[in-house]
Chain A
């Protein structure tokens, strides 16, 4: 692989001036879902609070102001592995439609190797009193410039987000279907 020297210099200049604001060229999309044998209202009672991630196994605690009001709500999320991210915003919230959205402007890539992370959680009714729980995320890789190292490329970003979201969906299913 050849490296364009001028582009590299430009990238380094950009990195030096404003590292927190740049991101990679292609936003990634991750869509995870699980079918749960429970009605949407019952599932929403467990997952429908912006400041309660007790249903997400990777999360130790959540703190922050604003309740479920998108204009004021923010949260700090501390992981069981020890790291935390701050000032995650509630971008939209609709209890009638069983959906809310989040946006995390900045995160230390050592905690989560992504940039500009946003997600939507939603519950929709399925036939037979079941529900489909969807967790859709959008984010850039952790490395802002060209030629990312392997631990900060697109695959690493997807893997890290999946590692948080998928066990949460699995645990949600198990919670409602235990004993069935």
Chain B
């Protein structure tokens, strides 16, 4: 059943043809592969070899292409999702981990977490278009739904950078908790949420006012944030849980036990399920967004990370 609030999010988040997430593309860092899981049957349907210990992933809005970062090999691999194969590699310097794709499908934004740069790369040709200077060790990043702003978690600067995607200049830097890693934006694009690894918090940033807008105490070593309707979800690596909180009040709603070392996480576009990649347990947990119970645990390759947008 789709509740009105969820429907609003689904419509805002993507085109109507994506009424339900059909597949997960899970990066398996130790398996040197991407595991494709059919989310209706909950079975693995393909394993795509991807070199260089793949970690980050960005899915185009239409779900046709996925871009995967391999920090060990300093490449971005392009995946044709329907054909289930790698169609090309782009060079990406330093330690490419966080990645996002513009809502139009071009360009790519690739964070070099050894530096203070986000690389802007043409998603068709692989040409390096520009470098955006942000804070130190950029990690998670996301682009607002209107495509106007890139938002970056600067891990070593304990800040979020707001970047204008037309001028590629940093407009503002807003302080958050200690070592922000994963980052999520609300559908309206006026709130950013960071998972602050070292302070065990989620920080809320008001992107319009460009200032901090709240803090949520969560579990140990929070890593990735996902939003679904009126709720926020964060994976807690050392607690093997997902903390659920209310986006309006920032009050804690529930703590959901999942696998060990939960990392990448994303809500299905219809808002019904939250998918969590458990790095240590090699599984994908399926959380019912209404009951907040884990309703299925699926095999997910070797050391799954799925850091980014991995559903289509």
Contacts and interface: CB of A to CB of B under 8 A. Distances in A.
Same complex: yes
A6 B30 contact: no
Contact of A103 (B115, B116, B238): B238
A103 B198 CA distance: 12
B97 A6 contact: no
Contacts of A22: 114, 137, 156
Given A4-B94, A10-B114, A92-B239, A29 B303 contact: yes
Contact of B74 (A4, A103, A138): A4
Interface residues of B, number: 31
Interface string A17-53: 1100110011101000000000000000000000000
Interface in A66-117: 91-92, 101, 103, 105
B93 A25 contact: no
A18 B261 contact: no
14 contacts: A4-B94, A10-B117, A14-B156, A18-B156, A25-B55, A25-B97, A26-B71, A26-B72, A27-B303, A29-B303, A92-B239, A105-B198, A146-B94, A146-B95
Nearest to B114: A11
Contact of A21 (B116, B179, B239): B179
User: Which 7 interchain pairs have the tightest Cβ spacing?
Assistant: A10-B115, A25-B71, A7-B94, A91-B238, A7-B93, A26-B53, A11-B114
Interface string B79-121: 0000000000000011101000000000000001011110000
A92 B239 CA distance: 7
A146 B95 CA distance: 8
B165 interface: no
B65 interface: no
Given A17-B136, A145-B95, 16 more contacts: A6-B93, A10-B94, A14-B115, A14-B136, A18-B136, A22-B114, A25-B55, A26-B55, A26-B72, A29-B30, A29-B279, A29-B280, A92-B240, A118-B238, A136-B280, A146-B94
A118 to B, nearest CB: 6
A114 B156 CA distance: 19
B194 to A, nearest CB: 16
B186 interface: no
Nearest to A102: B238
A13 interface: yes
B29 to A, nearest CB: 6
A26 B280 CA distance: 13
Interface of B: 29-30, 53, 55, 71-72, 74, 93-95, 97, 112, 114-117, 136-137, 156, 179, 198, 220-221, 238-240, 260-261, 279-280, 303
Nearest to B112: A10
A145 B238 contact: no
A13 to B, nearest CB: 7
B280 A7 contact: no
Nearest to A103: B238
Contact of B239 (A7, A26, A91, A145): A91
Given A6-B93, A91-B220, A91-B239, A138 B115 contact: no
B30 A120 contact: no
A6 B119 CA distance: 13
A11 B94 contact: yes
Contact of B260 (A4, A10, A27, A120): A120
Interface in A110-137: 118, 120, 136
A18 B113 CA distance: 13
B136 A145 contact: no
Nearest to A105: B198
Contacts of A101: 238
Given A91-B238, A91-B239, A7 B112 contact: yes
A14 B71 CA distance: 16
